[in-house]
Amino acid sequence: MSHKSGGASGPGGSGGQSGKLPDFARRVLIASIIVSAFFLAWHLRHTIILAFAAVVVATILLAASDLVRRCTPLGHHWSLAVSALLIIMAIGAILWFAWPNIQSQTAGLVQQLPEAARSIESRTGISLPNSLEQAGEAAGGVFNRILSDLASMVQTAATAITGFILVVVAGAFLAVNPGLYRNGFLLLFPPAQHGHAGEALDRTGRALKFWLVGQLLSMTMVGALVGLGAWAIGLPSPLALALFAFLTEFVPLIGPFVGAVPGLLLALGEGWSTLLWTALLYLAIQQVESNLITPIVQREAVRVPPALFMLSVVAMGALFGVLGVVLAGPLTVVAFVLTRTLYVEDTLGEELPSKENESDL
């Protein structure tokens, strides 16, 4: 009896331990894979941000292609080719007709800003470089890093041009056959999760498309209003100020303030009355943009809480430099939609409010 009992207990005990060892080994393997993935992603973060920039380019091309398809009987590939051609022609026309003025006014703006800074110092006794340096130190050095990255990008123009061409070409390939890359990405998930992952990708793509289209329309309107207002006030280089406001408007929340800095510096150099009118101009444009333009053009886009945009700009600037700041808006939209879809709705089972009540989330 004791022999049988001991024999039964012996194998049973060893069997229990041997059953635990594979579970432990599997957990260690999964943890190692996750840590390795994070380590690899950190070292490839600049490549990842370039890949996301290509996705943004592809989304813009697909949005233009959808508009062409709604207006014509063309298929996907032909409408994509027509939309790309129209975009190239529009950019070429702008450069052909307006580039000489933009180039001269931008050069004049670069020359006038130091004079405006010296005029401010003589009027107020405030040393602008010291104030800017202290502001950069107070921000934890994040913006100093962004400025240093920008300087390095200017010095390595060939690298920047190569990266731009790579992003555009990769975005074009993504736009030609988006289903191929979507299905390939879904293969990374277990078969049982393909439906949820596919729905999350579709919702993210729609949100990103609507946000980008709305943001581009807002940028165009803000740039036009700044140019007309600067011309009416009598500020020098109104086209350059309009172009700068147009470009910085792409960065949520922080971009409009940065876009107003050159105009305010030039206005202060012209006199206090010009500064007052210029400040009122930028304030009025931002009020129109935030209360009228944005709600109309982004009616179908996901409403992201403003605090997330602000924190995202700082975080993406610390992680990826200038390109991270530029892409902070679309990155935030993608992360917000994926978190809502995959975690809040699927994992937690929370019922989110409808689009009309999204501001209450």
pLDDT at 356: 40
Q: What is the mean pLDDT of residues 301-315?
A: 80
pLDDT in tens, 222-276: 999 999 999 998 888 788 888 888 988 888 878 888 888 888 888 877 778 888 9
Which residues are CB-contacts of 303 (< 8 A; sequence separation ≥ 6)? Answer: 355, 358, 359
Q: Which two tokens stand for residue 132?
A: 């800017």
Q: Which two tokens stand for residue 277?
A: 């009118």
Q: What is the mean pLDDT of residues 342-346?
A: 75
pLDDT in tens, 145-197: 554 555 555 555 566 677 788 888 999 999 998 888 888 888 888 888 888 88
User: What is the 3-class SS of the chain, one letter each residue?
Assistant: CHHHHHHHHHHHHHHHHHHHHHHHHHHHHHHHHHHHHHHHHHHCHHHHHHHHHHHHHHHHHHHHHHHHHHHCCCCHHHHHHHHHHHHHHHHHHHHHHHHHHHHHHHHHHHHHHHHHHHHHHHHHCCCHHHHHHHHHHHCCCHHHHHHHHHHHHHHCHHHHHHHHHHHHHHHHHHHHCHHHHHHHHHCCCCHHHHHHHHHHHHHHHHHHHHHHHHHHHHHHHHHHHHHHHHHHHCCCCHHHHHHHHHHHCCCCCHHHHHHHHHHHHHHHHHCHHHHHHHHHHHHHHHHHHHHHHHHHHCCCCCCCCHHHHHHHHHHHHHHHCHHHHHCHHHHHHHHHHHHHHHHHHHHCCCCCCCHHHHHHC
Percent of the chain whose pLDDT exceeds 70: 70
Cα three-residue angle 193-331-134, rounded to 5 degrees: 145
pLDDT in tens, 114-140: 666 666 666 665 555 444 444 444 444
First to last CA, the chain: 68
